[in-house]
Amino acid sequence: PAVPAPDLEGVTAALNAAMANGAPGAMARFTGPDGVRTRTVGVRDRVSGEAMDTRARFRIGSVSKTFSSVVLLQLVDEGRLELDAPVNRYLPGLLPDERITVRHLLTHRSGLADYTDQMFARTVPGFEAVRNRVFSPQELVGLSLALPRTTEPGAAYKYSNTNFVVVGMLIEKTTGTSLARQYERRVIKPLNLRHTSYVHPETRIQGQHVRGYLHPDEEGAPLVDSTEQTVSWAQAAGAVISDPADLNTFTTALMRGRLLSPRMMDAMTTVTPTDAAQTRFYGLGLRRYDLSCGTQVYGHTGTVQGFYTYAFATRDGRRALSAMANTSNRGAVNTVLGGTLEAAFCGKPAK
Ligand SMILES: C[C@@H](NC(=O)[C@@H](C)NC(=O)CCCC[C@H](NC(=O)C[NH3+])C(=O)[O-])C(=O)O
């Protein structure tokens, strides 16, 4: 069936709105039946003035969660661990509640508190305190377990980075190798994602990249260049680096069934609502957005100091959009950047 052409003026308007709300720059890449369309606004580097460039890499934040979920679900497909088994069967003694299962982690229904709420309660001091730190995943889980659980296991959706730190531990324990190696072997190499990497705890972004700028909490305070950091506070929950082309390759390949069995794709895309309006949903390490034109898109959003990211595709994998603005701690920027989804997937609003 014919699909609406992307509204590229609408995409550009959303990117300009991101700048108007405080992003030094923004960009989007749409892949569809009529080929690739890219749009860029502003700068990727405020000092050099170099223009935003869709060939530049950046930190994708929680879009990493979908990479981690794919790796874990491949291990489930291979029978090496079970979705409804207790996490403690594979990581004995890690969690204080045997009822928390692998599936609870992937659906944010474990009840494990998110340590980043406290870690980044004060945005810049919190960031400066950890930007060069290297944490073990056990340390991060320890930070979470020092806080009260947020729900009984399975009872409710409550987003928490802790869940995917544990997913990373499950991947390393089950395979006996590093997370980086598993991303490489199971996703990056097979899809030839040449600008995607997991280099934790290296702080630099290799190759041509976007510099990210963090808004302090104090109105009017100067932006903080947050480009170099270990992202050790996030690891499997947020430390992957990629670029717009690789993200579209990843989401379309995922939706076309190139990474997981049909059975596992069904499990991954079985969602529950996360908002009252019931337009936002979460499956297994995967978000679903139901757009105004009825199109449902699957993928993930990302927020890491200096970078907001959206990476989504249609269920048939025929259309994909990735968008990024190089700032953070500015909710309005994140919201308007999300406007690229409606423009790209729903096209020009009917006259
Ligand atoms: C929400 C998003 N989650 C992620 O991408 C994960 C990796 N990021 C976070 O949990 C945000 C950490 C604080 C960011 C900081 N905020 C503060 O410091 C607030 N005081 C910032 O905005 O840079 C997602 O799933 O879409």
Which protein residues touch ligand 1 with a CB less than 6 Å away?
A: 61-62, 116, 120, 123, 126, 161, 214, 234, 237-238, 301-305, 328-329
Residue 219: count other Cβ atoms within 10 Å of its Cβ. Answer: 6
pLDDT in tens, 4-32: 999 999 999 999 999 999 999 999 999 99
pLDDT in tens, 183-192: 999 999 999 9
Ligand 1 mean position to 334 CA, how many Å? 11
Residue located nearest, by CA, to atom 18 of ligand 1: 123
pLDDT in tens, 203-229: 999 999 999 999 999 999 999 999 999
Amino acid 351: pLDDT: 74
- Rounded Cα distance, 231 and 86, in Å: 28
Q: Cβ contacts of residue 152 below 8 Å, gap of 6+?
A: 99, 111
- In this predicted structure, the answer to whether residue 350 has a pLDDT above a threshold of 80 is no
- Rounded Cα distance, 311 and 244, in Å: 8
- In this predicted structure, the answer to whether residue 201 has a pLDDT above a threshold of 80 is yes
Amino acid 2: pLDDT: 78
| Atom in ligand 1 nearest the alpha carbon of residue 120 | 18
Element (H or E) spanning 308, and its range? strand 307-314
What's the rounded mean pLDDT across residues 129-148?
98
Helix orientation angle between 137-145 and 161-175, rounded to the nearest 10 degrees: 140
- Rounded Cα distance, 162 and 145, in Å: 10
Residue located nearest, by CA, to atom 11 of ligand 1: 303
How far, in Å, are 67, 116, 210 from residue 45 at the CA level? Answer: 27, 27, 7
DSSP state of 101: B
Pocket test for ligand 1, best of 58, 60, 62 (most atoms within 8 A of CB): 62
Instruction: Read off the tokens for 193.
Output: 């994602």
Amino acid 1: pLDDT: 63
What's the rounded mean pLDDT across residues 69-82?
98
Residue 179: count other Cβ atoms within 10 Å of its Cβ. Answer: 24
Residue located nearest, by CA, to atom 22 of ligand 1: 329
Instruction: Read off the tokens for 226.
Output: 């947050």
Q: Cβ contacts of residue 309 below 8 Å, gap of 6+?
A: 58, 60, 61, 63, 247, 301, 302, 303, 322, 323, 324
Ligand 1 mean position to 262 CA, how many Å? 32
Residue located nearest, by CA, to atom 16 of ligand 1: 329
Q: Which residues are catalytic?
A: 62
| pLDDT cut 90: percent of the chain above it | 98
What's the rounded mean pLDDT across residues 283-310?
98
What backbone phi and psi angles, to 5 degrees, belong to 6? -60, 145
Q: Identify the bridge partners of residue 58 per DSSP, sorted by sequence position.
A: 242
Ligand 1 mean position to 80 CA, how many Å? 31
Sign (positive/negative) of CA torsion 249, 251, 252, 254? positive
Alpha-carbon 154 to chain mean position: 22
- In this predicted structure, the answer to whether residue 138 has a pLDDT above a threshold of 80 is yes
What's the rounded mean pLDDT across residues 326-347?
98
Residue that is written with structure tokens 């003026």 in the block: 9
pLDDT in tens, 164-183: 999 999 999 999 999 999 99
Question: Which pairs count as long-range contacts for 71-74, CB under 8 Å and 24+ apart, including other chains?
Answer: 71/171, 71/179, 71/182, 71/183, 71/186, 71/187, 72/102, 72/106, 72/167, 72/170, 72/171, 72/285, 73/106, 73/260, 73/264, 73/267, 73/268, 73/284, 73/285, 74/186, 74/259, 74/260, 74/264
- Rounded Cα distance, 254 and 289, in Å: 16
